[in-house]
Homo-oligomer: A and B are copies of this chain.
Amino acid sequence: MHNGTSAKRTGRPRSADADHAILEATRAALVELGWGKLTMGDVATRAGVAKTTLYRRWAGKNELVVDAVAVLFDELELPDRGSLQADIEDVVLQFAALLALPEARTALMAVVAESTHDDALRLRIREAIVDRQKRLVVLGRRRAQDRGELPPDEPSQGPDGTDAATQIDLIFDVIAGAVVHRTLVSGEPVDPTWARTFTTLLLGGLAAIR
């Protein structure tokens, strides 16, 4: 998080309770107030903690919110439902459920917006959120290859965009982008019917680019 392999020695150790209380208070504040109205002072009060304690651990609102929301993305899993179609539908619905949480909706877009001119923040978001989602694509793709639903990776073939890493990125952007856009921009729900149609489109498209 913010203190990997601490080698602290002297003095009073930091309270682990405080960390949890702060992150929970942050999520609660996001739900009630949204990103724009959330303040460090308010989070501190909710957590029963001094502002100093927040700043000792996080550099600012952005970093705090990324960490507070990141844990939500750890709960995404890729269950083996027997077919690639079913696996993708499941992940789409999980992701949509996550974006239905007010704290995730508002925080995700806001930190992405801030990250457009803050490289450190962009990196943190990638590590804490984006890469955790992308691994599901990598895993699902490999599993589908094992099942024979997708062909095995071919060695890199030049600039036509069909090598493995490129394809993974494309799939990821299409899935995550479509779900986020439908949920937050279009403001429409992602229900099982939509998930099925979307997944059909995606798999049909994947066949086409090969």
- Digit string of A101-143 for contact with B (CB within 8 Å is 1, else 0)? 0100111111011111110001001100010000000000000
Do the beta carbons of A173 and B159 come within 8 Å of each other? no
| Cβ contacts under 8 Å, A115 to chain B | 184
CB contact between A113 and one of B106, B186, B209 (< 8 Å): that residue: B106
Do the beta carbons of B182 and A173 come within 8 Å of each other? yes
| Cβ contacts under 8 Å, A125 to chain B | 185
| Cβ contacts under 8 Å, A118 to chain B | 34
Q: Give the interface residue-count category, chain A.
A: 35 or more
Minimum Cβ distance to chain B for residue A167 (Å) = 9
Do the beta carbons of A209 and B181 come within 8 Å of each other? no
Oligomer copy total: 4
Minimum Cβ distance to chain B for residue A11 (Å) = 10
Do the beta carbons of B200 and A34 come within 8 Å of each other? no
- Digit string of A157-198 for contact with B (CB within 8 Å is 1, else 0)? 001111000100110111011111110111110000110111
- A13 interface residue, CB < 8 Å from B? no
| Cβ contacts under 8 Å, A110 to chain B | 109-110, 113-114
Once A161-B193, A196-B161 are accepted as A-B contacts, the answer to whether A201 and B177 lie under 8 Å apart by CB is no
Minimum Cβ distance to chain B for residue A114 (Å) = 6
Closest to A159 in B: B193
Do the beta carbons of B209 and A160 come within 8 Å of each other? no
Q: Which residues in A have some Cβ–Cβ distance to B below 8 Å?
A: 34-36, 102, 105-110, 112-118, 122, 125-126, 130, 159-162, 166, 169-170, 172-174, 176-182, 184-188, 193-194, 196-198, 200-209
- Known pairs A159-B193, A203-B208; list 20 more (Cβ under 8 Å): A34-B113, A34-B114, A35-B113, A36-B114, A108-B113, A109-B112, A112-B185, A125-B185, A126-B187, A161-B194, A173-B181, A174-B177, A176-B177, A176-B185, A177-B177, A177-B179, A201-B202, A201-B206, A201-B209, A203-B205
